[in-house]
Structure formats: C-alpha cells, structure tokens
Amino acid sequence: MTIKLVVGLGNPGPEYADNRHNAGFMAVDELAHELRANYWKSEHGALTAHVKRGGQELILAKPQSYMNTSGGPVSKIAAAYKIAPEEILVIHDELDIPNGDVRVKVGGGHGGHNGLRSIHDKLGSNAYARVRVGIDHPPGRKPVADYVLQAPRGEEGEAFRAATAIAAEAALCIVDEGPLKAQNRYNVK
C-alpha cells in the first residue's frame, strides 16, 4: 500500500518547539526541507504541505490541536483526501526506545502515548505505519509529562536532533520502498 499522508506529532507554538514531544514535528520539518515543500497551509486543523514523490502526491501534516487530540485533524485529512489508515505514516516520540534511536513499526498498540491513542480512536484503526524517535524514560522520579515537554540538552540533545533527521530518512524509505525495507534498515542496532 502506498503512503499518502505523513503526520508528525507535536504541540504547536514556540514554547514547545525543541521539546522531546515535538520529535514528529521536527522530523516532518526535515522531510519538508528534503522534499522542497515551501508552502504550508492550514487545513482540517493541521498545517499541511503537498509535495510529489515518485509521481505520487504526498501530504505532510503537523496537527495544530495539541498532542492529546491529534486524531481529530488526522482523521479529517484522511476523510477529505480518501486516505485509508494503511496509507498513513505517523512520526512520534517514544519513551520505550533509547534516546537517539529510531524504529519503524506497523500497527500495534498506543503504549500509553496520548497522541497515538487519539489517532487510534478517531481512525478506528491502528493499521498505520510509524517511525518512532527514541527519547528514553525520564531519570529518577521525574514525571513523564514534565520530561516530554522539555528540550534535551548537551549530548542528549545532539543525539535527539540527529534522531529526528534519521526519522525523516526512515519516513522517506517507507514512502519509497515500504515499511519492511525500512524496518530492516532502521530497526537494527
């Protein structure tokens, strides 16, 4: 199945720009740069850019409804453009993967990720592909909500930013060659 919609998860606004929870936004921005998307428009509750890849139209999207309600804009875009869940790729942060690592997955549960939970609920499906950007678990007893809304610093920040660029590469691999090839390439560490 062809990927027609690539969604990066995050929170809108400059105060969230570099935080861990915005890994998806950062990766989609990288992808937009790579694909020379120079025009973003507001539609269906998201910022979208329409590009061509391999002769196919590809929509890049950054929901503007905040992480926990990302499913609304994703389902509205999918409905408007007649895109099936199997034709959607979501890029997001992942606590259960070490910081700086990137993994590809198709289907499965939401693992407590509120953005994914919202998408599952609104699409009524978990059949979409995912690129997961590792952010690791918070140190000590730091609350997860505080941790994901902070920008990583120093070496950790460098590894995080590098992972968002790798996530954009992995997304292109899925678009061009399919999720299985991407899993074989990016899930090996």
- Model confidence, pTM: 0.96
- Give the mean model confidence (pLDDT) for residues 130-159: 93
| Closest-CA residue to 24 (of 119, 107, 109, 108) | 119
Structural tokens at position 99: 């910081």
Contacts 24+ apart (CB under 8 A), 136-144: 136/95, 136/97, 136/98, 136/99, 137/95, 137/96, 144/95
Q: Is the pLDDT of residue 189 over 80?
A: no
pLDDT one-digit tens code per residue, 57-97: 999 999 999 999 999 999 999 999 999 999 999 999 999 99
Residue recorded with tokens 């968002």: 164
Backbone Cα Rg of the chain: 15
Query: Among residues of the chain, what percentage have pLDDT more than 70?
Result: 99
**pLDDT for 101-116, tens place per residue?**
999 999 998 888 999 9
For helices 114-123 and 71-80, what crossing angle results, to 10°? 40
Residue 152's pLDDT is 94
Residue 137 known to be catalytic: no
Query: How many other CB atoms are found less than 10 A from the CB of residue 121?
Result: 14
**Residue-averaged pLDDT of the chain:** 95
The answer on pLDDT for 50 being more than 80 is yes
